[in-house]
Amino acid sequence: MKNIVVIGAGTMGNGIAHTFAQSGFSVNLVDVSQEALDRGLKTITTNLDRIIAKGNLTEEQKAETLGNITTFTALQDAVGNADLIVEAATENQDLKLKIFGQMDEFAPENCILATNTSSISITKIAAATKRADKVIGMHFMNPVPIMKLVEIIKGYSTSQETYSAVAEMSKTLGKVPVEVNDYPGFVANRILMPMINESIETLYNGVAGVEEIDTVMKLGMAHPMGPLQLADFIGLDVCLAILNVMYDGFKNPKYAPNPLLVNMVMAGKLGVKSGEGFYDYSESKKAEKVAKMFSK
């Protein structure tokens, strides 16, 4: 597999495109607007400059990486020679099903169709295509160029050939593929999201403040960042969407999102991406200042 298409130039999409391009693959990056593509390329360029500053990349390698990426605003124009397509659009089931129908229509019949979904059923996504055996989950972790894990999720009809090809491909990117079965939330988010939700519940019940909860988890459990900071980093809207998928899938009240999370998302307080969540990011992208709503 040499020709890769990435659908979506947002946080995950540009990270996935960056990772493939830096590993020498030809990457077509697709989004609905040129503005979104320009933002994605700007982020990739900034991240490459950070790697150069650490002495782990040369200017020539940066130029080669950027040269490996071509942008498109029309999916059908980007996928004609694709060996692998990785969908990294918003975590919305209806949108993903629509995109997979289009991918199936326009991509070569031997092309593998992968989704970076963090919770939605691979089996359901595959049902939107006529090649269920070639549909698979590739759940990368954020930030993609740095994080080693890729959850590889097989749907009900995913072939072993498809799984093996994607697992080997992940290794060429310097990633560690882990095989996971197709249940809501898979492994990473089935464990992570209830922890984040319980942290919000702890705050909601007044047990402790934002910084105190995060400090306990960082110092007591050796987490690199606290769960509330992590929720801001992921995006509170994404956390809510994943919890809703798990709640709908299992019908278990332990996955029901906390009302505080629901209200924050409705109010547009989404974390880093909106400038405010549990922390205030108006002056810094680091979680250095608790949001006014939660400050003492």
Question: Which are the catalytic amino acids?
Answer: 118, 139, 151, 189
- Please state, in angstroms and rounded to a whole number, the distance separating the CA atoms of residues 181 and 257: 24
Q: How many residues does the chain have?
A: 296
Sign of the C-alpha dihedral computed for residues 149, 17, 282 and 263 taken in this order: negative
Name residue 152's beta-bridge partners.
138, 179
Instruction: Count the neighbouring beta carbons within 10 Å of the beta carbon of residue 202.
Output: 18
For 259, other C-beta atoms within 10 Å of its C-beta total 11
Report residue 185 as tokens. 């939330």
Residue 218 and residue 268 in contact, taking contact as beta carbons nearer than 8 Å:
no
CB 151 within 8 A of CB 123: no
Distance CA 136, CA 128 (A): 13
